[in-house]
Structure 1
Amino acid sequence: MMYEFLLNNKFELEQRCRDKVAKRPGRSASSIQLQNGVPLFLEQLIKTLEIEQTSNPLASRAVSGHAGGASTLSEVGASAAQHGKALLQLGFSVDEVVHDYGDLCQSITDLAVERDAPFQIDEFRTLNRCLDNAIADAVNEFSYQKELVIAAQVAIELNERAGFFAHELRNALGTASLAFAAAKAGNLSLHGATGTILERSLASLSRMIDESLVDIRLVGQQAKILTAFSLADFIEELAAAAQLAAQAKGCVLTIGPVDRLLALGGSREMLLSAVANLLQNAIKFTHAGTEVRLTAYGAADKIQIDVADHCGGLPPDAEATMFLPFAQAGTDRNGLGLGLTIAQQSVIACGGSIKVRNLPQLGCVFTVSLPRLAMPD
């Protein structure tokens, strides 16, 4: 079994990865730098492989995520994102993010060949899935954090430009004021030298104002103004109302942990209505005694909110029509069939998107993707 091989050779593999890292120019690997990297990923890989040998192999997805590139909350994704963020803070490039996980894959392969360890094809598929998800989440978080750094630098530059602009305006206005005061005190003609100075100063003021208006229009066309608010508080408010509906239906509402440093953008009221409609829909169609799960997490520059139910899976072609007004796919026709339509329109109005993933014989997962913003002070 691969998980037994990895467990027995864990320290050897970690050391080989450190050796590979040390050979790359300008890169060293301390335990602090790697605590969210290779060692933790290796533990999660072992845990995933071990779970997949049990009677419920799909439970491993909570540890290492799904195949196919879908963004979901998982232990591998969370720690990989932290690793990507740490490498950016240490001044490394995105190449280093990819290389760190590639080193582990190469180390596992080399050691397996040396020890003549046989692995099953499904175990290699699991290894590849874990690596793909870890690399994707690490690179996404690295890129997002880098964009934040660039945005902060741009804000500093804009602040400096505003300071320069105010300074030049004050100079031009000061010159114009002096010229006007001199002309007034000496009863001078505005056709002379003093009048010329006043005229040039006023022209300079007019030019600077016109240029600033052009900049303002360009910035307004390129950026949307979104209101940032706490994701954790948002989810807590939703959960309080949805718990009552879940109890009445005889199902369980489970809320996943939410990072209190995450913030999302848009109209809070519209988004509360949107996600509340998704929760109501999930509770309505989920089977009694099963679970509706609400999770929210960061994925690069997006906030993802998942609402998963146990409705038994979607009917054929339901995905194509479920967001249409008055569409009702289930046997329960209580309501007007507008909840999903309202949810979709509200999410789109806030600059986000919504999609559904069918889990045949199990249920479905609605995923709302929204802009991720910096936490307001």
Structure 2
Amino acid sequence: MMHEFLANNRQDLIERCRAKVARRPARAATAQQLQNGVPLFLEQLIRTLRIEQTDEPLDSRKISGPSGGGVTLSEIGASAAQHGRALLKLGFSVDQVVHDYGDLCQAITDLAYERDAPFQIDEFRTLNRCLDNAIADAVTEFSYQRDDAVADEYARETNQQQGFFAHELRNFLSTAMLAFAAAKTGNLNLSGATGSVLERSLTGLRDMIDRSLAEVRVTAGRPVQSQMFSVAEFIAEVKYAADLAAQVRGCILTVSFVDAELAVSGDRDLLYSAVGNLLQNAFKFTHSCTEVTLDAYAVADRILIDVKDHCGGLPAGDAERMFLPFTQDGVDKSGLGLGLSIARRGVESNDGTLTVRNVPGTGCVFTISLPRYAMTGPARA
């Protein structure tokens, strides 16, 4: 009988299935991770076949389920669903879910042929029913879990995009309010530097809104609007807004001389936002009355922009984690913890990199690296 054949050759069948699995690419699951797969199914199949040889053969449906499945989940269905869920978490495809049960069917057929084991037609029908129900329930659960994962990822990305948008709007608005307060308190003429900061912030608010509307229409995302511009003029423009923020935070901003011949090519607004976020982060965490420095210079074929603070240094392991969205490690929990993530994304979209170097006991140095150009054309090292 088939149940005796399966029981006597259980380990051989499992090893044959494992060998088939090993020959397929990208499959590194352990026996513990796949405990609801072939071994458990084989045990349930043996029990189903045994019950069908008794006076109450229909009791086997509690284990295997009826032909065509059923509303009530059987033992095979429950374990197959767990198996499908486990495979999804391990990053496998739905094809691999089906292959697991197909491997066992092939192993049983091959071994029966080798051993010349006679099976009854009804036993083959039971085998097919169990395989059919197991595959159906495993694939169904796999699909449910995959759809849930896709929905969760979509919600996370949407929430992150909304957070980015709100964070940038707040940055522009805060700078505009600082400039307005400075102009009002000092009775300043808005045609000067403070007025330029206010104008730049209001223009940034307008551009952010225009950009968000464009992203609704362009599902692939907003293309980077590249232009070549002077690094010296760019840093001077950043300094206007940063000076006000430094005063409010009670720290000192020092900006080094920038060679007038240096240029970069990229989306000026995104890079302005990136440098602004680095400075805001520095002002937020640097110790009171200490210095934040902004340096821009050339090294070989790269333009480097450094923002250095005096926060005291980073705890071990925080260097990369701090770039993750919604990460806040300091005592000051104002904001959303998006500034550094936004900065890195903006720099990388302009073919650049953003890294951080820890200076233990002193602070951090954030460095933006971009391709180097000269105002008259591409730079030659």
TM-score (norm 1): 0.50
Change (3 A) 1:199 1:89: same
Retained in 2: the 8 A contact 1:82–1:138?
Answer: yes
C-alpha distance in 1 between matches for 2:183 and 2:29: 72
Retained in 1: the 8 A contact 2:29–2:90?
Answer: no
Look up the match of 1:319.
Answer: none
Look up the match of 2:36.
Answer: 36
Deviation string, structure 1 residues 166-216 (Cα, Å, up to 9, x no partner): 321122102321332244235456688866764664465466568879999
C-alpha distance in 2 between matches for 1:72 and 1:151: 27
Deviates more, 1:46-55 or 1:100-109: 46-55
After superposition, where does 1:32-181 map in structure 2 within 5 Å? 32-181=32-181
Look up the match of 2:374.
Answer: none
Retained in 2: the 8 A contact 1:77–1:134?
Answer: yes
Change (3 A) 1:208 1:76: same
C-alpha distance in 1 between matches for 2:212 and 2:75: 48
Retained in 2: the 8 A contact 1:66–1:72?
Answer: no
Q: Secondary structure at the match of 2:33?
A: coil
Q: Secondary structure at the match of 2:101?
A: helix
Shift of 1:95: 2.0
Look up the match of 2:184.
Answer: 184
Q: Over aligned residues, Cα RMSD in angstroms?
A: 3.0
Deviation string, structure 1 residues 114-153 (Cα, Å, up to 9, x no partner): 1222222222121111111111111222233333333443
Q: Secondary structure at the match of 1:86?
A: helix
C-alpha distance in 1 between matches for 2:29 and 2:11: 15
Give the partner amino acid of 1:97.
Answer: V
Give the unaligned 5+ runs of structure 1: 217-377
Give the partner amino acid of 1:165.
Answer: F
Give the unaligned 5+ runs of structure 2: 217-381
Shift of 1:159: 3.8
Shift of 1:103: 0.6
C-alpha distance in 2 between matches for 1:29 and 1:204: 50
After superposition, where does 1:1-377 map in structure 2 within 5 Å? 1-28=1-28, 30-187=30-187, 198=198, 201-202=201-202, 204-205=204-205, 208=208
Q: Secondary structure at the match of 1:166?
A: helix
Give the partner amino acid of 2:134.
Answer: A
TM-score (norm 2): 0.50
Deviation string, structure 1 residues 266-325 (Cα, Å, up to 9, x no partner): xxxxxxxxxxxxxxxxxxxxxxxxxxxxxxxxxxxxxxxxxxxxxxxxxxxxxxxxxxxx
The structure having more radius of gyration, on CA atoms, is 2
Look up the match of 2:269.
Answer: none
Shift of 1:161: 2.1
Deviates more, 1:203-212 or 1:45-54: 203-212
Shift of 1:106: 0.2
Give the partner amino acid of 2:105.
Answer: C
Retained in 2: the 8 A contact 1:21–1:28?
Answer: no
